[in-house]
């Protein structure tokens, strides 16, 4: 496992989203050619949704056999099904409703009005069980070997719903946990843990905008994962930070080449 991230810095957030979408299409096509399917973990937020919208608009999107793509989520707001604030609702609007997915391969996290009712702990355990059931004997632990797990980076360095110093970021055993008292609304959420994130082949961290510059600088400068959860998010094959110029503005120049696109 390599923890040393690779950085790609794009001129602006629009170019970053388009380039990330193109990169993801290539990656999925390669994975399907190698193994017959691809497994992705989606992220919400403006950068995650921007990537999905760029993918939907890409002429190359149909190179992917969407029926052989498994979709999971890194975290979710524990709200009723169809709530506009839920990541899966936003993902459907940005991309999923426009491509021919196999419904059995789409794995949203439970809603607060779902089979487990308004019990986020039970919902988290159910999602962990669903991940474990999908994991093969060659996979890393109790989750599938995700080909790409995408994460947005918050201004406070949070990823998924792992916030600095909160109990979820300290979890070392479980793959999915409930979050209470999140510092950004809504306070109740479900999230993958760092052990689950690190089971991914590749982890891509997305950061665009000046409000992400300090977070990127902290996470990429050796901070601890409890204080800066983004610093603890890495894949076992590759970790890729995709930034725009504004988000990279506080990074030491030696961290990325001047000629980044």
Over residues 47-56, the mean pLDDT reads 97
Does the pLDDT of residue 39 top 90, yes or no? Answer: yes
Phi then psi dihedrals of residue 190, to 5 deg: -125, 140
CA distance 240 to 226: 20
pTM: 0.95
CA distance 39 to 44: 17
Over residues 132-136, the mean pLDDT reads 91
Please write the tens of the pLDDT for every residue from 101-111: 999 999 999 99
Over residues 173-195, the mean pLDDT reads 97
Please write the tens of the pLDDT for every residue from 216-249: 999 999 899 999 999 999 999 999 999 999 999 9
Instruction: Name the residue with higher pLDDT: 4 or 141.
Output: 4
Contact status, residue 150 vs residue 40, Cβ threshold 8 Å:
yes
Burial class (CB in 10 A: 0-12, 13-18, 19+), 197: buried
Q: What is the pLDDT of residue 259?
A: 44
Does the pLDDT of residue 49 top 90, yes or no? Answer: yes
Q: What is the pLDDT of residue 252?
A: 81
Does the pLDDT of residue 257 top 60, yes or no? Answer: no
């Amino acid at each position: 496992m390599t923890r040393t991230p690779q950085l790609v810095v794009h001129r602006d957030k629009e170019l970053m989203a388009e380039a990330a979408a193109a990169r993801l299409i290539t990656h999925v096509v390669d994975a399907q050619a190698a193994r017959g399917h691809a497994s992705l973990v989606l992220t919400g937020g403006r950068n995650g949704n921007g990537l999905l919208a760029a993918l939907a608009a890409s002429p190359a999107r149909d190179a992917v056999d969407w029926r052989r793509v498994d979709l999971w989520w890194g975290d979710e707001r524990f709200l009723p099904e169809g709530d506009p604030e839920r990541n899966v609702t936003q993902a459907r609007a940005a991309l999923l409703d426009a491509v021919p997915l196999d419904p059995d391969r789409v794995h949203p996290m439970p809603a607060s009005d779902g089979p487990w009712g308004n019990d986020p702990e039970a919902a988290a355990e159910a999602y962990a069980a669903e991940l474990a059931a999908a994991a093969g004997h060659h996979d890393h632990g109790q989750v599938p070997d995700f080909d790409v797990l995408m994460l947005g980076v918050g201004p406070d360095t949070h990823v998924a719903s792992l916030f600095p110093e909160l109990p979820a970021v300290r979890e070392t055993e479980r793959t999915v946990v409930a979050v209470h008292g999140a510092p950004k609304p809504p306070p109740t959420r479900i999230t993958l843990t760092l052990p689950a994130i690190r089971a991914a082949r590749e982890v891509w961290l997305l950061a665009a905008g000046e409000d992400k510059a300090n977070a990127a600088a902290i996470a990429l400068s050796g901070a601890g994962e409890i204080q800066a959860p983004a610093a603890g998010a890495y894949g076992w094959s590759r970790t890729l930070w995709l930034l725009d110029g504004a988000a990279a503005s506080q990074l030491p120049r030696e961290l990325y080449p001047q000629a980044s696109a």
